[in-house]
Amino acid sequence: MGDKYVLKYTEQMGQRRYGLSSLQQIIKASGRIVRSKDEWGDTHILDRTTLRLIQQYRSECSGCFWTG
């Protein structure tokens, strides 16, 4: 975590809470793509940090978000 703001925020919240909060925001934003049961959408995230968070906290997040 090279960003000074992120480092300070992580120190205040704790690493786990920060990671889960970040994933929650990503899932929420992705959910705005789909508005009804008949719609579908893809979310492409091109960030290594996000991939690490997904792998680390996968079991604690909604299964409908993950594929593969």
Domain presence at residue 67: no
Domain presence at residue 46: yes
Domain presence at residue 68: no
Q: Look at the chain and report how many structural domains it folds into.
A: 1
Q: For residue range 15-36, what is the model confidence (pLDDT) as tens digits?
A: 788 788 888 888 888 778 888 8
Instruction: Bin 36: left if φ > 0, else alpha if -120 < ψ < 50, else beta.
Output: beta
Round to whole Å and give the CA distance between 65 and 68: 10
Q: For residue range 34-54, what is the model confidence (pLDDT) as tens digits?
A: 888 888 888 887 888 888 888
Domain presence at residue 54: yes
How much is the pLDDT for 24?
Answer: 84
How much is the pLDDT for 35?
Answer: 81
Residue span of the structural domain in which 24 resides: 4-32+42-60
Own/partner contacts of 54-57, CB < 8 Å, gap of 24 or more, are 54/23, 56/19, 57/19, 57/20, 57/23
Tokens of 51: 């991939």
Domain presence at residue 48: yes
Neighbouring CB atoms inside 10 A of 68's CB total 2
Write down the pTM of the prediction: 0.60
Tokens of 11: 């120190």
Domain presence at residue 37: no
